[in-house]
């Protein structure tokens, strides 16, 4: 099973070697108060927040909000070129599935691009540069991939999709724009989601937030009220973030792009034959109010590790948290698919550690 275990790592190396630069022209019932928001976070050296496992004997679905480190709002690390290449291919070949914008979201889409450009150029000047072509066209130069993208002209009647597409092309985060409609409902008004889990912007842009979570166990009874109050009260001055995770099974025939872009429900395949197929997928989610459009920007940074790459402390905490899941939550998380392999792996780790002492 070593070959299976290394499938994603080999794909990463292969993509990195084969990548050729191209020049492009184109929770509770009450909302948490600021003082009660969790302050404890764990970050790796890139600033990606690792999930904090709940160490309670009882399952409790909460929003788990915390104050963000917005100096690391968008991440550019050693995996940037690989993830960027996957996103570029998706936006070129499958844009209809991974991106959609409703009319009326134009100002917010442009605002997202302006924020992303400013942040990336100022935070990573060795990776991004704003330049002007000989014809006077405003452009962004991505140094690591030797690509040049034209920045849409705000006054030239550009499509609302161009600004959001460019933001998602130069960043490796997914961007979702939530707006309030005339009935006071929070609607997903625009999204570019290259690394989703079991959903597509093509299907869900235009949906109220409540409908998007209709299949999530306990969401409506535990979080629905809190999420709506949170979105209504979010201010420009006080952005918020949270993290969450998923367990995913990888198969030998899948490419890295297939693993990262999970448009279909993730638990429909055969059971893994070993723990080396089980991946731990974490998301760092940030929320901020946009000052010009008054929309809410919801970003997602996805990271994937093998379960076998997690520290024993995290594996142990995850094992304990699993035991608190109600039946409907366990089913939603696909536990029947990967539980046997994971528990066998955990028991083996415990035995090995016991033999060391």
pTM of the model: 0.83
Instruction: Check residue 258 and report its DSSP letter.
Output: H
Half-sphere exposure of 323 (CA within 13 A, CB side): 9
Q: What is the pLDDT of residue 115?
A: 96
3-state secondary structure of 247: strand
Highest mean pLDDT among 65-69, 168-172, 251-255: 168-172
> How confident is the model over 123-180, as pLDDT tens digits?
999 999 999 999 999 999 999 999 999 998 775 555 667 999 999 999 999 999 999 9
The rounded distance, in Å, linking the Cα atoms of 235 and 239 is 7
Tell me which H or E stretch contains 115.
helix 106-123
Distance separating alpha carbons of residues 138 and 133, to the nearest angstrom: 7
Q: What is the mean pLDDT of residues 18-43?
A: 35
Radius of gyration, alpha carbons of the chain? 21
Segment 201-210, tens digit of pLDDT? 999 999 998 8
């Amino acid at each position: 099973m070593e070959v299976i275990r290394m499938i994603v790592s080999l794909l990463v190396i292969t993509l990195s070697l084969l990548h050729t630069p191209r020049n492009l022209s184109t929770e509770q019932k009450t909302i948490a108060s600021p003082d009660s928001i969790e302050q404890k976070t764990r970050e790796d050296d890139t600033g990606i927040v690792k999930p904090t496992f709940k160490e309670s004997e009882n399952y409790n679905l909460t929003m788990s909000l915390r104050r963000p480190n917005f100096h690391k709002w968008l991440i550019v690390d050693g995996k940037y070129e690989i993830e960027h290449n996957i996103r570029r291919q998706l936006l070129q070949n499958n844009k209809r599935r991974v991106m959609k914008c409703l009319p009326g979201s134009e100002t917010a889409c442009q605002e997202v691009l302006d924020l992303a450009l400013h942040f990336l150029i100022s935070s990573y000047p060795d990776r991004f540069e704003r330049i002007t072509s000989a014809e006077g066209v405003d452009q962004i130069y991505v140094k690591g991939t030797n690509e040049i993208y034209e920045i849409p002209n705000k006054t030239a009647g550009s499509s609302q999709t161009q600004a959001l597409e460019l933001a998602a092309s130069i960043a490796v985060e997914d961007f979702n724009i939530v707006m309030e409609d005339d009935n006071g409902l929070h609607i997903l008004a625009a999204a570019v989601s290259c690394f989703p889990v079991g959903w597509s912007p093509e299907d869900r842009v235009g949906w109220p937030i409540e409908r998007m979570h209709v299949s999530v166990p306990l969401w409506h009874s535990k979080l629905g009220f809190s999420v709506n109050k949170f979105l209504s009260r979010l201010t420009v001055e006080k952005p918020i973030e949270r993290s969450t995770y998923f367990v995913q099974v990888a198969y030998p025939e899948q490419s890295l792009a297939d693993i990262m872009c999970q448009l279909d429900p993730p638990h429909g395949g055969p059971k893994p034959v070993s723990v080396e197929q089980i991946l731990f997928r974490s998301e760092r989610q940030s929320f901020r109010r946009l000052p010009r459009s008054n929309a809410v920007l919801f970003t997602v940074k996805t990271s994937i590790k093998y379960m076998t790459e997690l520290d024993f402390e995290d594996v142990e905490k995850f094992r304990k948290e699993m035991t608190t899941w109600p039946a409907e939550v366990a089913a939603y998380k696909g536990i029947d698919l990967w539980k046997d392999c994971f528990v066998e792996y955990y028991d083996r780790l415990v035995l090995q550690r016991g033999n060391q002492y």
